[in-house]
A and B are shown apart, each in its own frame.
Chain A
Amino acid sequence: MATHALSPAAVAGYRGGLYEWLTTTDHKKIGIMYVINSFLFFLIGGVFALLVRTELAVPGIQLFTNEHVYNEAFSIHATVMIFLFIIPMLAGLGNYAVPLMIGAPDMAFPRINALSFWMLPLGGILLLAGFLTPGGAAAAGWTSYPPLSERGALSSPGPGQDLWIVALILIGTSSILGGINFLVTIFKMRAPGMTLFRMPIMVWTMLVTSVLVVMATPVITSALVMLFIDRNYGGTFFLPPEGQAVLYQNIFWFYSHPAVYVMVLPAMGVISEVLPVFSRKPLFGYKAFIFATAGIGALGFSVWAHHMFTTGAVFLPFFSLMTFLIAVPTGVKMFNWVFTLFRGQLTFSTPLIFAIGFLTMFLIGGINGAFSAAVPIDFALQDTYWVVAHLHYVLFGGSVFGMFAGIYYWFPKWTGRMLEEGLGKVHFVLMFVGFNLTFFPMHMLGIQGMPRRIADYADPSWNGWNLLASVGGFIIGVSVLPFLWNVFISLRNGKVAGDDPWGGNTLEWATSSPPPPYNFDRLPEIRSERPVFDARHGHVAHGGHGGPVEEEAPAALEEGHVDSQGPGGAS
């Protein structure tokens, strides 16, 4: 491959629009397709959530006269939100950002990147096709614990459960391929000067996320294959007396707990980019933050059975201790973020507001998790609405607010247009208020004894909280409208962004908006984790840093502006 930059005219316009999008291997176009596809599934998953909240708004059975369909609704809601919205949305943000942030022209394996993406809509269609089969879609919860997910008259007799298994194996394969692609890209495609300890935190979180994905996803695939054999070929892996029901839970959570970090670490990466830019300060404790991220990744493999405290088949003290301990690196991150704001100069643009939304809500999601780490309290809380509150404070209050921070932050880079600030703030306020109205009352419902996954409830003291949660759910639904309108009008008439509308720190702001297909005509010097900041302000502001770390790139390559091809860029 040529080592000098191509001019934009050399590649532009040789394929038509739709054909170009369907066949592209450009990480930026693939990243945008990830984002759009994930957002569509967010809307689909949201409709299921609103159906569930409509049923629960008042006691009695109103909407789901067939309670089996209610079980399908919450099972598909969670499966879609986790596997087709949160994980791929963050993978999409990373897909767009990572090569740009490390000064690379593309991902290491562009065709595999396209393959990873196209498996997702296919998996989603297979999953939803369950509704067209006799017996309906999968209805055993997103966890699909056997024996309920096994074949049986009162369990999961229909093909919907098999489609669920096949869809998850496809989506998992997509994740594994994506994870390998990120790892190779990050280790082999960095521009000269971009040492590991100069990488943006977003890249670090994608690195740790990819390690988790590559190590954990094959494990859940094994459980899914065994379940498929049980269901279709007479296996008894999870059927007593020959098999063990709890075995599935161990394998499932060995993946699915690290998957929680897959769902939140990249969002942490996003806000670790947003907070410094809008505070005009570096991230407080850059290296401590990286060690905390790696620590979470490592500890994340030793806490899976805290989802199983009530099974009577878990070594409780070990998993309780590890679960408490994982709060420590998470706390380190929280303090580093808050001290990034501290003594900064904050500009309350929409990305920062969503990032602060992440901080305030994720804090609650961390604290209410500590209650469940205390095993005896978990005996009360497990499988109640408290757990529903906890997981939504982490995955919605954390991940979803974080990804909206990222969407508002990078939309100008993706499209060349700014999103409108006023509509962005309306979106935030509606979503923030709706979110808290929906999910805070679930703490009360849980501790008062309302189990999750029930279509009806008998205790009149739960009525008020349920109604409040349902009202909040519809406010969340409405909050998406100003966002969609904002995207629509900004694409048509939005303010032109320019290369660097926010005063960014990282390399994506050193190229045009949107960037050319090969990303960079030239790169600024990379002497710290904020090369674009350095280019804007010189090195004057670098007093407090612990000194540059020795890099593995040849020093000779680090003079002045280098072109876009890193040493490992021949793909």
Chain B
Amino acid sequence: MSTSPRKRPASEAIVAGGVVVLLIAIVGLVFWSGAGSSLFPPKAVTDRAHEISQLYDVVFAIAVAIFLAVEGLIVWSILRYRRRPTDTELPPQTHGNNVVEALWTAIPTVIVLFLFGVSWDTLNKVDATSVAQGGQPDVRINAIAGQFQWQFEYLDAGGKHLATQTKALSGSGGGGMAVPVGKKVYVTLTSGDVIHAWYVPRFLFKRDVVPGQTNHFEFTVDADEAGQTFHGQCAELCGTFHNAMHFDVIAMSQPDFDAWLAKLVEVANATPPPPPSGAPTLKVEAKNIAFDVKTLEVAGNTPFVINFKNDDPSSITHDVEIRQSDGTTVVQKQDAIPGGTEKNYQYEPLAPGTYTFICSIHPIAPMTGTLTVK
């Protein structure tokens, strides 16, 4: 079959050429429409992210040059060296050339050593922390990951615990941390269950949260980013609701941050308000990712209290959310509490009917029950 002469141009070459033209057209369209900018990192917002972004640009430039050179050589060989009807003799039987082999070993070696050098240099800047250098960061935060929620502990300069942020700071759910712009923020990562990863795309950074091991990193948010919210998410598969482990990083000016932290400490140290007198109190306990009761009953159209105790490890947070009997439509939310604590949840009056009570962080059968309102 390969020995039979064929008319030119070969239909195969037209197909191959068509594919190449189509691809070039698609790539051209993507860049012309502005979508090509998606191939670059989002705008960096921390000192470390600027370093990583610059390194990306260097690697990207070299990558594009190599891609165009080699891919161009392939396409050119395809178009130029098609077998023609006149090709009855064999082409020159070149077996190789030691000089070019040495060249295309040496030149790539130089390129990768250069890439290693610049990336190592950047790595040393990204991984540097003031603690490792014997200095003091401006803010210390312990990020505690648990299935499937983030908690952020704020510490003072001596490492003493000030207060813990256990809920979202904006509307998107999950956890939240606030940081002052222009200040060195030192984060320690711990996990009590499985491996998670702390990932904020705009920081171009993630670090695994490994049980039995503490990881640290440091960053400084750009001064002009005050008031911005940066979305973060767990990046290491951690179980069924991995997808729900979002958090936000809110950048604040120093005065705003100080006020925010003072408020957090004040709330943490305040004595919880006593339950309204006369309100019926129900008891619910959570242990081993399960509620101890599956059914609750309460009188209709009157406020009530659930005394909720979380007996799981401290990294595991639970709450008791009231939903419609469909199990999805939320009626009343509560703030989650970490393991080893308890809280009196106060609920507004409910109309008589059947409702679902559920842990919004672990909406699985053992953490779901029926609330009957008479």
Whether A311 lies near B210 (C-beta < 8 A) is yes
Known pairs A284-B94, A447-B40; A380 contacts B63 (CB<8 A) = no
Closest chain B residue to A324, Cβ basis = B112
Known pairs A347-B83, A451-B199; A328 contacts B105 (CB<8 A) = yes
Whether A379 lies near B207 (C-beta < 8 A) is yes
Distance in Å: Cβ of A227 to nearest Cβ of chain B: 14
Q: 0/1 per residue, B104-124, Cβ < 8 Å to A?
A: 110011001101101110110
Within 273-322 of B, Cβ neighbours of A (below 8 Å) are at 288-290
CA distance A265 to B241 in the complex (A): 38
Whether B93 lies near A371 (C-beta < 8 A) is no
Known pairs A344-B91, A363-B71, A376-B52; A312 contacts B207 (CB<8 A) = yes
Most buried by B among A146, A348, A359, A379: A379
Tally of chain B residues near chain A (CB < 8 A): 103
CA distance A154 to B234 in the complex (A): 16
Known pairs A244-B212, A310-B206; A356 contacts B78 (CB<8 A) = yes
Known pairs A71-B237, A332-B104, A375-B123; A286 contacts B59 (CB<8 A) = no
Q: How large is the interface on A (under 10, 10 to 19, 20 to 34, 35 or more residues)?
A: 35 or more
Chain B residue contacts of A111, Cβ below 8 A: none
| Of the residues B12, B51, B108, B210, contact of A353 by C-beta under 8 Å | B12
Within 424-477 of A, Cβ neighbours of B (below 8 Å) are at 425, 429, 432-433, 436, 443-444, 447-449, 451, 453-456, 458-459, 461, 464-465
Interface residue A140 (Cβ < 8 Å from any Cβ of B): yes
Chain A residue contacts of B19, Cβ below 8 A: 429, 432-433
Interface residue A17 (Cβ < 8 Å from any Cβ of B): no
CA distance A285 to B66 in the complex (A): 21
CA distance A458 to B233 in the complex (A): 11
Distance in Å: Cβ of A120 to nearest Cβ of chain B: 27
| Of the residues A141, A464, A544, contact of B237 by C-beta under 8 Å | A141
Interface residue B195 (Cβ < 8 Å from any Cβ of A): yes
Chain B residue contacts of A316, Cβ below 8 A: 123, 127
Interface residue B238 (Cβ < 8 Å from any Cβ of A): yes
Distance in Å: Cβ of B348 to nearest Cβ of chain A: 29
Interface residue B67 (Cβ < 8 Å from any Cβ of A): yes
CA distance A346 to B83 in the complex (A): 5
Interface residue A279 (Cβ < 8 Å from any Cβ of B): yes
Stretch of B95-103, B162-170, B254-262, B330-338 that contacts chain A:
B95-103
Whether A379 lies near B205 (C-beta < 8 A) is yes
Whether B101 lies near A312 (C-beta < 8 A) is no
Q: 0/1 per residue, A370-397, Cβ < 8 Å to B?
A: 1101111101101110000000000000
Chain B residue contacts of A71, Cβ below 8 A: 237, 239-240, 242
Whether A382 lies near B239 (C-beta < 8 A) is no
Interface residue B47 (Cβ < 8 Å from any Cβ of A): no
Whether B42 lies near A147 (C-beta < 8 A) is no
CA distance A371 to B237 in the complex (A): 22
Interface residue A341 (Cβ < 8 Å from any Cβ of B): yes
Residue positions of A touching B, CB distance < 8 A: 67-68, 71, 139-141, 145-148, 152-155, 240-241, 243-246, 277-282, 284-288, 310-313, 316-317, 320-321, 324-325, 327-328, 331-332, 334-336, 338-339, 341-349, 353, 356, 359-360, 363-364, 367-368, 370-371, 373-377, 379-380, 382-384, 418, 425, 429, 432-433, 436, 443-444, 447-449, 451, 453-456, 458-459, 461, 464-465, 501-503, 537, 541-546
Q: A375-B120, A380-B201 are in contact. List 19 more A-B contacts (CB 8 A).
A: A147-B211, A148-B195, A148-B237, A154-B147, A154-B239, A246-B213, A281-B93, A282-B93, A285-B95, A310-B206, A313-B213, A324-B116, A343-B91, A344-B77, A346-B82, A377-B52, A379-B204, A447-B39, A546-B95
